[in-house]
Structure 1
Amino acid sequence: MSDNSSNQPPGRFLGGDSNRKNPEPGGLTGESQETAPLTETEVKADRAAKKADRKARSDKSFLGHPRGLMTLFSVEMWERFSYLGFQAILVLYLSDAVANGGLGYSEDVASSVVAAYGALLYLLSIVGAWISDRMTGTHHAVLWGAIVIAGGHILMGIPTEWATWGGLGLIIIGTGLLKPNINSMVGELYDKGDERRDAGFSIYYAGINIGAFAGPLVAGWLGQTYFWHAGFMAAAVGMVLGVIQYLVGSRHLAGRSRGQKIRRNFQMDATMWRLIGLVVVVIAIAVAFTVAQDDVLTSLVDIITALTIIVPVIFFVWMYRSPKVTPTERGNLLPYLLLLFALVLYNLLYFQSGNTLNLLALNGVDNSVFGFDYPSTWYISLAAIVEIIMGPVLAWLWIKMGSKQPHVAAKVGIGAVFGGIGFLFVALGASITPGGALMSGVWLVICYIFLGMGDLTLQTSGMSATTKLAPRAFASQTMALWFAAMALAQGIQAQIVQLYELENSVTYFGIQGLVVLGYGLLLVALTPYLKKRMHSVA
């Protein structure tokens, strides 16, 4: 299962286009420009950095691509291995009895905590993108993000509750630094006109899905077969390997010149202090989790849900009311809301692989085939298999159809339909399973196949539409709005998952499946209208 935030085109989320003139000082747009003459040392450093960038981009030693692509491929593969590996067992560990090595929380609280954790991660991704664009450059952001993530996984390998919450806090902060910036580093390996760029991203995304496939298999097996912290340590080993790979191969990466310029021109401003405040809030919440009881945990989750609602609303209203947005661009934003809503609804389903679907697989599914018993967490790897196989097929299909391919609104709607169908199959399987019996694993397999297809269709099309519908003055911030919508999906999910019980599986999965399926069909039906309203979008 690939992480949604990873299926995105190259580009920045905050900080604007570095080629813009007259950037907005102290805000979220623009990149600081040099106002003072450079010293001789700085001039020499710039020349050396530009030379190193040219060398990195001209290299063809990795399958005809720059050698730095192999470094980023490996780092992202291990990051996804560690992230999806530990996430596969997190809710099981939180809800398992203390006598069995778990933390003993109720399943509804454990599920909502997992969702709230994901919401904080996406909120911090917005901050991480800004830090890279305004403070550090991509190299330093990714390096420190990887180190902090590794530290978080190592902490989670320690069998104490305080280490669990502290580890989660570090993983949130580190992933917020790494995820929105490592994709941009892939783009930095290629000049704008380099025909290898798209193929390079395809290779890079293969690394993402390989890690997403292997993580739940390895960490899930270790955690469920031996003890939970064995799975967490496997995730830690994967991330440490990723850090080592990055340190060894960093000399082959590009983007040094831009990074030097960013670090040289960084100045503390009001926005920086606000973002520091947001990070402090996240750390404070992580600390509060270490001493919280179930009722306090629920209150903390409610606060996180409120944050995920407030942030995207502020983002959108700020953008929509800006005088920098033209009337045509403002007209594009309203239909774009319909696509964002589809993203939120779909991910309400997709992200439940880490909690309710995981608990269903553990307690309500027959996890055996031909006499072989397998860990319930292995189902999570299925979505990654689907995306590995079907990604090239879907890309070929769109190229083959050319101008006859569906409009982007229809593609997003079709993706939502796939997700709704996946949940309806789970509800169907639960409804025909006799009371007290275990549901066949085939129903979950079908569900994950549809979720993988939905993710592939909706995410790629939605990201593409985001880059096209974004107002020119807010090109990067519109991608930040996409991240905020992902956080919103997790925040709402943190409330919904509390309603899940094994006994109400038919109602729980059925209602959600019908709602998302219905909205997907509505988008498809509205496509002719949206096509007229969306300018410059095919």
Structure 2
Amino acid sequence: MPSGRRAREKTFFGHPRGLATLFGTEIWERFSWYGLRAILATFMAASPAIGGLGLSQQTAQAVVGIYGALIYLVALPGGWIADRVLGARRAVLWGASVIMCGHISMAVPVETGAFVALGLLLIIAGTGLMKPNISTMVGKLYPQDDDARRDAGFSIFYMSINIGAFIAPLVVGWLASGNRWHLGFGAAAVGMALGLAQYVLGRRHLKGVGERPGHRLTPRERRHFGLAAAVAALVTCGGLAVWTASGTFDLDTFALVMTLFIVAVPVFYFGYILLGSHNLTDDEHSRMKAYIWLFIAAAIFWMIYDLAPTVLLFFAQNKTDLSLFGIRITPATTQSFNPLFIMIFVPLFAALWVRLGNRVTAPHKFSVGLFINGLSFMIMALAAKLAESGRITVWWLVLVYLVQVFGELSLSPVGLSVTTKLAPEAFKSQMLGLWFISISVGDAVGGQTGRLRNHMSEPAYFLTLALIAVVASLVLLAFAGRLHTMMREHRPPNTAPPP
């Protein structure tokens, strides 16, 4: 586009107006997601007498873990559907609409879990369509050769995630206080409705971005896809119906089965990449083996980090004096600490990695992230021990979230970067989805760690998870040199591997 014409058009902080549309949509989608997440576990564990579902904390932790895991898992098929069937624009529109319907279902004030289950399923399905594809549309707002502005645009876009994540627990948590759970769920629905309205009203600024699928299915492929989807749905529903009719179905067992399935997904996928006929070069094969180590490290990290909306939320509710600077807060408000610290420290860590350059490798950064995450739960173990004598100050949780954010900023952005760097050429487009599966595995397994509470005290539980992270960190550190060699970062590109 000629510079004169670009200057005459209205922009969003110097970027295409379409970025404002996607920015606003993402804020409200994240508002709805983090608002629900901030009260979901406490709602499930609350007594039916006060409008809750009456689940045990262990079961609520497992269900929320599976819910979070599926949110990340469905990003893979959601991206595929947009690329082959709907196009990114319609995928986002349909996804946002389905998410809104899911929150509306959650907000129905009836004493049954049926509407809750339906709501969660709709939110999972809608997020799978919306989440990966709205990011894709951000990238397509810019010309292919405009890398600098595209990177800056993504930085602005990702700020919307943390704005929504910061505001949501404050608003939804306040509305849901006093056991007004469905009012909180209703606020999440209103948030998604505002995001949907922002998207529809601002669609003209997208200027055709994402209108058509990138690789549309042929009519024959569409028929096969429709048949396969129908068969999969029938088998899944039929299996659940038979299981329920047998009288052996319960949420704990269901969560365990789903966890095993989610863990099996990356095992199958890594096997497919490494053992299939994809003509991988020796370097690509070596890099993928190194990536498996980093994937496992990331899964352990998320196993602990994503216990915030369950274990740490219950701790805030039951073990802390919820007062900050003399102001009473809700348990859900503690979920705002994390995005606040992220917004504060992201620029500092970005500058730190630039300053350190190649002296600190990806395995080193992963090791540091894991160690810091383990340190946060050592602090939690001490806090839990002190809480055995009565409620403790909520500042303990502030400290834990602060430490965890240091761990996240050491691992999460680096994970995205190293995933794209180590991806084989034949799997460039799919590898980011594989990175998100590490979060899915971590969330699912983290949900199952509640079973440990049947055999140990709360301080011992936190200390056990901390030691898992620290040991994993030390193992990764010990093999960092070997992994660096396997990643083939010590040789210039196109240099033949040693014999």
TM-score norm. by structure 2 comes to 0.90
- From the superposition, tell whether residues 219 and 351 of structure 1 become closer, same or farther in structure 2 (CA, over 3 Å): same
Rounded Cα–Cα distance in structure 1 between residues aligned with 2:52 and 2:309: 16
Q: Residue 43 of structure 2 aligns with which residue?
A: 93
Q: Deviations over 1:263-322 (max 9, x none)?
A: 575632656654555566777799999999996112211221121022111111001112
Q: Residue 495 of structure 2 aligns with which residue?
A: none
**C-alpha displacement at 1:234, in angstroms?**
0.8
Q: Deviations over 1:17-38 (max 9, x none)?
A: xxxxxxxxxxxxxxxxxxxxxx
Q: Residue 315 of structure 1 aligns with which residue?
A: 269
- From the superposition, tell whether residues 256 and 189 of structure 1 become closer, same or farther in structure 2 (CA, over 3 Å): closer
Rounded Cα–Cα distance in structure 2 between residues aligned with 1:67 and 1:125: 26
| Structure 1 position 150 matched with structure 2 position 100 | yes
Match of 1:440 among 367, 373, 393: 393
Match of 1:331 among 283, 286, 294: 286
CA contact (8 A) 2:141 2:209 kept: no
- From the superposition, tell whether residues 148 and 510 of structure 1 become closer, same or farther in structure 2 (CA, over 3 Å): same
**C-alpha displacement at 1:537, in angstroms?**
8.1
| Structure 1 position 62 matched with structure 2 position 12 | yes
Q: Residue 81 of structure 2 aligns with which residue?
A: 131
Q: Residue 165 of structure 1 aligns with which residue?
A: 117
| Structure 1 position 363 matched with structure 2 position 318 | yes
Q: Deviations over 1:358-399 (max 9, x none)?
A: 111111111123543210111111110111111111112222
CA contact (8 A) 1:428 1:506 kept: yes
Rounded Cα–Cα distance in structure 1 between residues aligned with 2:242 and 2:344: 43
Alignment map for 1:26-105 (pairs within 5 Å):
61-105=11-55
Q: Residue 382 of structure 2 aligns with which residue?
A: 428
CA contact (8 A) 1:169 1:283 kept: no
Code of the residue aligned with 1:408 in structure 2: it is A
Code of the residue aligned with 2:47 in structure 1: it is A
Q: Deviations over 1:303-358 (max 9, x none)?
A: 21121022111111001112222222111111111110111101111111111111
Rounded Cα–Cα distance in structure 1 between residues aligned with 2:417 and 2:104: 36
- From the superposition, tell whether residues 95 and 457 of structure 1 become closer, same or farther in structure 2 (CA, over 3 Å): same
| Structure 1 position 188 matched with structure 2 position 144 | no
CA contact (8 A) 1:91 1:114 kept: yes
SS at structure 2 position matched to 1:192: coil
| Structure 1 position 456 matched with structure 2 position 409 | yes
SS at structure 2 position matched to 1:193: coil
Q: Residue 349 of structure 2 aligns with which residue?
A: 394
Q: Residue 411 of structure 1 aligns with which residue?
A: 365
CA contact (8 A) 1:413 1:521 kept: yes
Rounded Cα–Cα distance in structure 1 between residues aligned with 2:241 and 2:13: 46
Q: Residue 297 of structure 2 aligns with which residue?
A: 342
Rounded Cα–Cα distance in structure 2 between residues aligned with 1:506 and 1:476: 43
Code of the residue aligned with 1:333 in structure 2: it is M
Rounded Cα–Cα distance in structure 1 between residues aligned with 2:230 and 2:421: 31
Structure 2: runs of 5+ lacking an equivalent: 492-499
Rounded Cα–Cα distance in structure 2 between residues aligned with 1:296 and 1:343: 30
Rounded Cα–Cα distance in structure 2 between residues aligned with 1:125 and 1:461: 20
Rounded Cα–Cα distance in structure 1 between residues aligned with 2:260 and 2:253: 11
Rounded Cα–Cα distance in structure 1 between residues aligned with 2:94 and 2:246: 29
SS at structure 2 position matched to 1:83: helix
Rounded Cα–Cα distance in structure 2 between residues aligned with 1:293 and 1:247: 46
- From the superposition, tell whether residues 277 and 173 of structure 1 become closer, same or farther in structure 2 (CA, over 3 Å): farther
CA contact (8 A) 1:408 1:537 kept: no
Identity level (%): 38
Rounded Cα–Cα distance in structure 2 between residues aligned with 1:495 and 1:131: 31
Alignment map for 1:109-258 (pairs within 5 Å):
109-160=59-110, 161=112, 162-194=114-146, 195-225=148-178, 227-254=180-207, 256=209
- From the superposition, tell whether residues 327 and 277 of structure 1 become closer, same or farther in structure 2 (CA, over 3 Å): farther
CA contact (8 A) 1:419 1:450 kept: yes
Structure 1: runs of 5+ lacking an equivalent: 1-50
Rounded Cα–Cα distance in structure 1 between residues aligned with 2:11 and 2:484: 43
SS at structure 2 position matched to 1:500: helix
Rounded Cα–Cα distance in structure 2 between residues aligned with 1:284 and 1:59: 55
CA contact (8 A) 1:56 1:254 kept: no
Alignment size in residue pairs:
483
Code of the residue aligned with 2:425 in structure 1: it is R
CA contact (8 A) 1:141 1:181 kept: yes
Rounded Cα–Cα distance in structure 2 between residues aligned with 1:111 and 1:79: 23
